[in-house]
């Protein structure tokens, strides 16, 4: 690969759009979304930051979306998913939550940067290709009111809107709501994490029609222990969702062996 810039966008702007983009570059020159070094295009990473992204690719566990050590030639389920099946149907994430991905998500949490949103939106569209084809409605993981107050925006909701605009699927940010705050999951056992999240989410009564009988695509920025998206999936399924898939930018998981 030569030096240059890297983005997953395949859109080819027309002449007018290109001219406007060039005029825009004179005002705001393009920089690497992660390290701010100068680039020739917007919404992209420099070669150094790009190399520091650990994208997740096939073969994957069909349920958890975690990488598998070898390809079996068809859909595979990891031992981890068989031992403790998730409440959602399938999860997919664009990259491991390390290096550039971690920096982008942390930066995004505390400042809503348009160029980060565009780049992460591209990654989500690629990672969630199969899930988007089956989805009827996009729903972001809701944030507690207290955290929303301090951050002023919910990054999962912003990502959901980007995916909605790019895929043409409807988005509902109010279908799922947080009923109560939860304590941090760090240091909790699997059972404690589940108890901590139990009943934390519910489907708004006025939005039940949007959920019942439909395939929901749940969006979050990072899947860490999976307890949050599992609790959301349980609430959506209790409200009659036919299927709940999960799409996130980052995933905290290691490679696990296939079940024998
Ligand atoms: Zn960079």
Q: Which 8-state DSSP code applies to residue 245?
A: E
Model-level pTM greater than 0.95? Answer: no
Q: Are residues 151 and 209 in the same domain?
A: yes
Residue 112, domain member (yes or no)? yes
Spatial contact of 162 and 8, defined as CB atoms under 8 Å apart:
no
For residue 259, name the pLDDT band (cuts at 50, 70, 90). Answer: very low
Q: Are residues 126 and 2 in the same domain?
A: no
CA-wise closest residue to 155 among 173, 182, 137: 173
Q: Are residues 86 and 106 in the same domain?
A: yes
Which tens digits make up the pLDDT trace of 210-227?
Answer: 999 999 999 999 998 888
Cβ atoms within 10 Å, residue 39: 20
Helix ranges restricted to H, 84-226:
99-110, 114-127, 129-134, 145-151, 155-167, 190-197, 208-211
| CATH number of the domain where residue 246 is located | 3.40.50.2020
**Domain range holding 169?**
55-251
Distances (CA, A) of 72 to 83, 91, 151: 19, 19, 44
pLDDT at 25: 57
CA of 172 relative to ligand 1 center, distance in Å: 34
Sequence-separated (6 or more) residues with CB below 8 Å from residue 162: 117, 118, 120, 121, 124
Torsion of Cα atoms, 89 then 94 then 98 then 102, to 10°: -100
Q: Are strands 90-96 and 137-140 parallel, antiparallel or unpaired?
A: unpaired
Which tens digits make up the pLDDT trace of 111-166?
Answer: 777 889 889 999 999 999 999 999 999 999 998 665 655 555 788 999 999 999 99
Q: Are residues 31 and 86 in the same domain?
A: no
Q: Are residues 150 and 201 in the same domain?
A: yes
CA of 59 relative to ligand 1 center, distance in Å: 28
CA-wise closest residue to 31 among 20, 46, 21: 46
CA of 158 relative to ligand 1 center, distance in Å: 23
CA of 94 relative to ligand 1 center, distance in Å: 18
Is the alpha carbon torsion for 60, 51, 248, 194 positive or negative? positive
Residue 257, domain member (yes or no)? no
Q: Are residues 88 and 136 in the same domain?
A: yes
Residue 258, domain member (yes or no)? no
Residue 72, domain member (yes or no)? yes
Q: Please give the Cα distance from 103 to 83 (Å, whole number).
A: 32
Sequence-separated (6 or more) residues with CB below 8 Å from residue 102: 250
CA of 101 relative to ligand 1 center, distance in Å: 12
CA of 103 relative to ligand 1 center, distance in Å: 11
Which tens digits make up the pLDDT trace of 45-69?
Answer: 999 999 999 999 999 999 999 999 8
Q: Are residues 65 and 20 in the same domain?
A: no
Q: Are residues 7 and 117 in the same domain?
A: no
CA of 52 relative to ligand 1 center, distance in Å: 9
CA of 49 relative to ligand 1 center, distance in Å: 4
Residue 259, domain member (yes or no)? no
Q: Are residues 45 and 169 in the same domain?
A: no
pLDDT at 3: 40
CA of 8 relative to ligand 1 center, distance in Å: 16
215 backbone dihedrals φ, ψ, rounded to 5°: -90, 120
CA-wise closest residue to 9 among 37, 36, 30, 35: 30
Q: Are strands 243-251 and 90-96 parallel, antiparallel or unpaired?
A: parallel
Residue 218, domain member (yes or no)? yes
Which tens digits make up the pLDDT trace of 224-256?
Answer: 888 899 999 999 999 999 999 999 999 997 544
Number of domains in the chain: 2
Residue 260, domain member (yes or no)? no
Question: Rg for the chain (alpha carbons), in Å?
Answer: 19
Cβ atoms within 10 Å, residue 243: 18
Residue 116, domain member (yes or no)? yes
Q: Are residues 33 and 17 in the same domain?
A: yes
> Of 9, 34, 51, at which residue does a domain stop?
51
Q: Are residues 43 and 62 in the same domain?
A: no
Q: Are residues 81 and 6 in the same domain?
A: no
CA of 50 relative to ligand 1 center, distance in Å: 7
């Amino acid at each position: 690969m030569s030096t240059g810039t890297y983005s997953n966008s395949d859109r080819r702007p027309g002449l007018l759009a290109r001219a406007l983009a060039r005029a825009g570059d004179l005002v705001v020159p393009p920089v690497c979304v992660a390290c701010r070094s100068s680039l020739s295009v917007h919404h992209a990473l420099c070669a150094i930051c790009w190399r520091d992204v650990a994208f997740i690719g096939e073969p994957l566990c069909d349920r958890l979306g975690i990488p598998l050590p070898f390809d079996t030639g068809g859909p595979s389920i990891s031992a981890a998913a068989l031992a403790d099946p998730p409440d959602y149907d399938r999860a997919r994430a664009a990259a491991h939550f390390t290096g550039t991905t971690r920096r982008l998500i942390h930066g995004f949490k505390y400042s809503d940067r348009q160029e980060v949103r565009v780049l992460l939106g591209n990654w989500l569209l690629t990672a969630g290709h199969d899930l988007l084809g089956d989805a009827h409605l996009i729903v972001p993981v809701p944030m507690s009111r207290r955290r929303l107050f301090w951050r002023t925006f919910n990054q999962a909701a912003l990502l959901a809107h980007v995916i909605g605009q790019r895929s043409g699927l409807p988005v509902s940010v109010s279908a799922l709501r947080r009923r109560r705050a939860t304590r941090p999951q760090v240091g909790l056992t699997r059972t404690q994490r589940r108890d901590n999240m139990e009943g934390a989410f519910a489907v708004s009564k006025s939005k039940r029609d949007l959920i019942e009988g439909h395939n929901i695509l749940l969006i979050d920025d990072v899947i860490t222990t999976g307890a949050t998206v599992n609790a959301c999936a349980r609430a959506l399924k209790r409200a009659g969702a036919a299927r709940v898939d999960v799409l996130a930018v980052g995933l905290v998981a290691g490679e696990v062996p296939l079940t024998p």
